[in-house]
């Protein structure tokens, strides 16, 4: 996730090379034994005093984990046994406390190292989820910021906007039959990019597994030319995952003869960091060749890639908030399935006079939570709350906090149930099937796929 994101230049813990660990384990153990023998030839394992050779399994256990530490400790025990069999002076009887102590100490240290390694991995996954939410917010912010200003300059007198253009693309994709979404939508995608970039000639090429398919463009406008596979601008675009132009090729090479026939390349880069397609621009006006145009094209390419990667069922809800809620719900399902990170759902059926209760629920929303106001099949109004990275205990804490707020706001009520609120909870876990979630949403809560899609 976020392989090409500029924000992901961190790791909570450095990664270890597992192959190198099995080379380092016997080498470090042999090195420590050699040093001990050089310092004390008469007693290389230091049975009389502190057993300094135990440093080898302890260091390996701290660095690599339980298995490497145990193997190093086993090598020390094997050396002690060999010295005993060779009747080495002082090793006629090897104390059992030395063998047990070396094995137990290395195993305990290795087990704690593995435990903290797993915790760091879970924290890393949680951080990546928050980074995904931040990237999503950043893109939405830039679209809002540039939409009106850009369209006033480029499409004066037109009744279209950037938001309406993206909404139109979503509806077109929703109406397409099942198949390759990129191939079906290629002409429409290129047409939108050409409108905002004022392209005279351009072509859209698909990318499969990091390789650009130049044999046949999926869509083109104007007079396109045949491109070599090692075209400099295309190579830079795939490597960087960002919009590149002739200026970038000069900065990269410094030699004019290596500049391609293209003027710019725009990738369709999803929020996951995967390039789905590349738009090769052969000709565009000079006045459009500026940083603001390329920034807008990069934003459009990112939103188009996210739209293509969105499953078709998530395009059903007409409300933007409902679609966003459905996308986050699917991400919570994937986090639970792939990383064993549970999440929770709460559906609160509100009574008829629920203005004060809705205000209370909005004020109780936590940072990562999502709320969606819906109408049930029986006409009652309800609020669906998604709590990412929250298990069953966390949802109980959420319920207790709501009850405390009810006691503070309403004099004659001690809980939500006392106000006539029906509460339904569902925990998203690794081993639960999707059918159980569908039964909770569509039967127990009385919702439908036009409101929440999974």
Three-state DSSP class for residue 285: coil
Domain of residue 69: give its range: 18-123
Q: Are residues 302 and 437 in the same domain?
A: no
Q: pLDDT (tens digit, 9 = 90+) per residue, 43-100?
A: 777 777 777 788 888 888 888 888 788 888 888 888 777 777 776 777 767 777 777 7
As a whole number of angstroms, the distance between CA 444 and CA 399 comes to 19
Write down the mean pLDDT value for the chain.
78
CB atoms within 10 A of CB 446: 19
Residue 160 confidence (pLDDT): 54
pLDDT over threshold 80, residue 285: yes
Cβ contacts of 306 within 8 Å, gap of 6 or more: 270, 271
Long-range CB pairs of 434-437 (<8 Å, 24+ gap) are: 434/333, 437/333, 437/345
N-to-C CA span, the chain: 21
Q: At what angle do helices 55-64 and 96-154 cross, to 10 degrees?
A: 30
Closest CA to 139 of 5, 317, 279, 10: 5
Among candidates 72, 141, 164, 150, which has minimal Cα distance to 109? Answer: 72
CB count within 10 Å of CB 424 equals 16
- In the listed set 289, 310, 331, which residue is the last one of a domain according to the structure? 310
294, 349: one domain: no
Examine the domain organization and report whether 299 and 327 are in the same domain.
no
Q: So what's the pLDDT on residue 279?
A: 92
Read off the pLDDT of each residue in 25-54 and give the average, rounded to a whole number: 78
Helix (H, G, I), strand (E, B) or coil at 367: coil
User: Quick one: 325 and 292 in the same domain?
Assistant: no
Query: What pLDDT does residue 277 have?
Result: 92
Give the C-alpha separation, 122 to 250, whole Å. 43
Share of the chain above pLDDT 90, in %: 4
Cβ of 340: how many Cβ atoms within 10 Å? Answer: 12
Is 454 a domain residue? no
Alpha carbons 293 and 290: distance in angstroms, whole number: 6
- Model confidence over 118-171: pLDDT tens digits? 888 888 888 888 888 888 888 888 777 776 566 556 544 444 566 677 778 877
**Residue 219, beta-bridge partner list:** 204
Q: Hey, which of 99-113, 185-199, 303-317, 367-381 has the most confident mean pLDDT?
A: 185-199
Three-class secondary structure of residue 159 per DSSP: coil
Q: Report the alpha-carbon distance of residue 310 to residue 312 in Å, rounded.
A: 6
Residue 400 covered by a domain: yes
Note whether residue 140 is domain-resident.
no
Determine contact, residues 368/403, Cβ cutoff 8 Å. Answer: no
DSSP secondary structure code for residue 157 in this structure:
T
- Assess if residue 406 is contained within a domain: yes
Residues 290 and 325 in one domain: no
Tell me, yes or no, whether 305 and 180 share the same domain. yes
d(CA 187, CA 172): 11
Picking from 251, 283, 310, the residue at the C-terminal end of a domain is: 310
Domain count, the chain: 3
Last residue of a domain, one of 103, 123, 143: 123
pLDDT tens for 382-440 read 888 988 888 888 888 888 888 888 888 887 777 888 888 888 889 988 888 878 888 88
Answer yes or no: is 119 within a domain: yes
Radius of gyration of the chain from its Cα atoms, rounded to whole angstroms: 31
Q: Are 79 and 33 in contact (CB under 8 A)?
A: yes
pLDDT score at 316: 54
How far is residue 288 CA from its own chain's centroid? 34
SS3 at position 284: coil
Range 238-246 average pLDDT: 86
Taking the C-alpha atoms of residue 359 and residue 339, their distance in angstroms, rounded to an integer, is 34
Q: By the 8 A CB rule, do 454 and 384 touch?
A: no
Residue 170 sits in the same domain as residue 299: yes
Strand-pairing partners, residue 364, are: none
Residues 175 and 297 in one domain: yes
- 273 and 359 both lie in a single domain: no
Angle between helices 162-175 and 96-154 (to 10 degrees): 110
**Main-chain dihedrals φ then ψ at residue 267, nearest 5 degrees:** -85, 145
- Which of 182-186, 303-307, 335-339 tops mean pLDDT? 182-186
Residues 174 and 303 in one domain: yes
How many other CB atoms are found less than 10 A from the CB of residue 158? Answer: 10
Domain co-membership, 399 together with 350 = yes
Query: Which burial class, exposed, middle or buried, applies to 449 when counting CB atoms under 10 A from its CB (0-12, 13-18, 19+)?
Result: middle
- Distances in Å between the Cα of 70 and the Cα atoms of 66, 82, 109 are 6, 18, 10
- pLDDT on residue 376: 78
- Domain with residue 288: its CATH number is 3.30.450.40
Residue 222, Ramachandran bin (φ over 0: left; ψ between -120 and 50: alpha; else beta): left
In sequence order, what are the beta bridge partners of 346?
A: 385, 425
Smallest Cα–Cα separation from 136: which of 347, 328, 267?
Answer: 328
pLDDT value for 278: 92
**Both 408 and 337 in a single domain?**
yes
């Amino acid at each position: 996730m976020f392989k090409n994101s500029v924000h992901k230049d961190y790791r909570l813990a450095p990664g270890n090379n597992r192959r190198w660990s099995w080379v380092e384990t016997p080498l470090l153990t042999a090195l420590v034994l050699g040093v001990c023998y050089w310092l004390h030839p008469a007693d290389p394992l230091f049975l009389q005093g502190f057993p300094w050779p135990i440093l080898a399994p302890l260091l390996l256990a701290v660095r690599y984990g339980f298995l490497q530490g145990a193997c190093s400790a086993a090598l020390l025990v094997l050396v002690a046994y060999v010295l005993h069999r060779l009747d080495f002076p002082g090793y006629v009887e090897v104390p059992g406390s030395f063998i047990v102590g070396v094995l137990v100490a290395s195993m305990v240290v290795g087990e704690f190292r593995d435990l903290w390694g797993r915790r760091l991995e879970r924290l890393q996954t949680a951080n990546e989820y928050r980074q995904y939410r931040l990237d999503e917010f950043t893109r939405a912010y830039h679209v809002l910021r540039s939409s009106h200003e850009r369209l006033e300059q480029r499409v004066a007198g037109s009744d279209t906007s950037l938001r309406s253009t993206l909404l139109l693309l979503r509806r077109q994709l929703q109406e397409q039959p099942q198949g390759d979404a990129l191939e079906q939508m290629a002409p429409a995608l290129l047409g939108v990019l050409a409108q905002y970039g004022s392209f005279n000639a351009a072509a859209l090429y698909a990318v499969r597994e990091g390789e650009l398919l130049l044999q046949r463009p999926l869509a083109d406008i104007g007079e396109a030319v045949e491109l070599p596979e090692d075209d400099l601008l295309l190579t830079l675009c795939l490597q960087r995952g960002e919009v590149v132009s002739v200026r970038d090729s000069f900065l990269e090479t410094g030699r004019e003869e290596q500049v391609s026939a293209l003027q710019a390349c725009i990738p369709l880069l999803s929020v996951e960091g995967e390039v789905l397609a590349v738009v090769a621009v052969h000709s565009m006006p000079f006045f459009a060749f500026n940083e603001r145009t390329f920034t807008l094209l990069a934003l459009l390419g990112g939103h188009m890639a996210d739209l293509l990667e969105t499953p078709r069922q998530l395009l059903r809800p007409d409300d933007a908030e409902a679609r966003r809620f459905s996308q986050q719900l699917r991400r919570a399902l994937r986090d639970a399935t792939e990383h064993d990170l549970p999440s929770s759902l709460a559906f609160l059926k509100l009574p008829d006079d629920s203005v004060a209760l809705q205000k209370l629920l909005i004020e109780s929303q936590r940072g990562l939570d999502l709320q969606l106001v819906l109408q049930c099949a029986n006409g009652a109004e309800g609020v669906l709350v998604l709590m990412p990275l929250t298990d069953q205990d966390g949802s109980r804490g959420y319920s207790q906090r709501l009850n405390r707020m009810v006691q503070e706001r309403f004099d004659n009520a001690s809980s939500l149930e006392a106000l006539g609120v029906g509460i339904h909870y569902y925990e998203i876990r690794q081993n639960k099937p999707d059918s159980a979630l569908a039964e909770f949403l569509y039967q127990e809560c009385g919702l439908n796929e036009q409101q929440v899609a999974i």
